[in-house]
């Protein structure tokens, strides 16, 4: 596995709305590429099963599937 420099990681839960592509599924919060040490546990979100949208039960971020 390649090492990632901490400066390259995004701040977790920095956005409250995310648009996803089909290739981003399965969706989970926090998103890939974020620093995990100061975030909530990873939770998978049933975006496709919920009509193209889901809300994180931990941070309230909303996820939408782009068409």
The pLDDT, as a whole number, for residue 16 is 84
pTM for this one? 0.71
Domain that holds residue 27: 15-34+41-65
In a domain, 4, yes or no: no
Q: How far is CA 38 from CA 11, 19, 35, 42, in A?
A: 9, 23, 7, 12
**Which pair of structure tokens corresponds to residue 25?**
């599924």
**Residue 62, SS3 per DSSP:** strand
In a domain, 27, yes or no: yes
Number of folded domains in the chain? 1
Which is more confidently placed, 3 or 21? 21
In a domain, 10, yes or no: no
Q: What is the pLDDT of residues 17-60, one digit of tens each?
A: 889 999 999 999 988 777 766 788 999 999 999 999 999 999 89
**Residue 23, SS3 per DSSP:** helix
How sure is the predictor about 67, in pLDDT bands with cuts at 50, 70 and 90? confident
In a domain, 57, yes or no: yes
The pLDDT, as a whole number, for residue 13 is 55
The pLDDT, as a whole number, for residue 24 is 92
């Amino acid at each position: 596995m390649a090492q990632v420099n901490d400066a390259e990681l995004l701040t977790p839960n920095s956005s409250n709305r995310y648009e996803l592509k089909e290739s981003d599924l399965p969706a989970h919060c926090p998103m890939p590429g974020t620093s995990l040490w100061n975030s909530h546990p990873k939770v998978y979100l049933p975006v496709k099963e919920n009509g193209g949208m889901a809300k994180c039960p931990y941070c309230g971020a909303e996820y939408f599937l782009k068409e």
